[in-house]
Amino acid sequence: MDDYLQSALDIVKAQASARPMTEDEIVSMVRSVANGIAAVSTGQIAASEAESAAPAMDPKKAIKEASVTCLECGKSFKMITKKHLAAHGLTAEEYKAKYGYKKTQALACKSLARYRRAKMTDMKLWERKGKAKTE
């Protein structure tokens, strides 16, 4: 198990140097990677079973201030796109239903959602639409 843990630490260390990670993400990722390496090397799981595993984290904690974590693969993004979900064979609606998100929940980090909301408020498109009809 020491070899698996060392390999997992190396992988997570490389990942942490490439992007900011919280302590919880690091610990969770080390545990997950070490268990995954051990299972694959002993032949306990097949590749298809690895994909159908439970989400890496609680869906409520997946959407953070600066990132959103894909619950299918565990990768972090600013926003989960249709193209990324298509790689998992899902649409945004299916993904939200699968993990219990509201239909109106944005699959973007909180800061990006807040920025977009403020931008739309500043643009006041609903007022322009009304003016165009009256002209």
User: Using one digit for the tens of pLDDT, what is the confidence trace for 40-90?
Assistant: 777 765 544 544 555 567 888 899 999 999 998 888 899 999 999 999 899
Judge contact between 68 and 57, C-beta under 8 A.
no
User: Using one digit for the tens of pLDDT, what is the confidence trace for 77-107?
Assistant: 999 999 999 998 999 999 999 999 999 999 9
Say how far apart CA 121 and CA 45 lie, in whole Å.
Answer: 50
Q: Which helix (H) or strand (E) holds 62?
A: helix 59-62
Which pLDDT does position 29 carry in this prediction? 84
| Unique residue bearing structure tokens 């800061």 | 111
Which pLDDT does position 134 carry in this prediction? 61
Which pLDDT does position 50 carry in this prediction? 47
Q: Which residues pair with 68 in a beta bridge?
A: 63, 77
The values of phi and psi at residue 88, to 5°, are -95, 0
What residue ranges define each of the domains in the chain, with the CATH number in brackets? 1-53 (no CATH), 55-135 (1.10.10.1550)
Say how far apart CA 135 and CA 27 lie, in whole Å.
Answer: 60
The values of phi and psi at residue 68, to 5°, are -130, 135
Judge contact between 112 and 122, C-beta under 8 A.
no
Average pLDDT of the segment spanning 126-131: 72
Q: pLDDT confidence of 129, banded at 50, 70, 90?
A: low
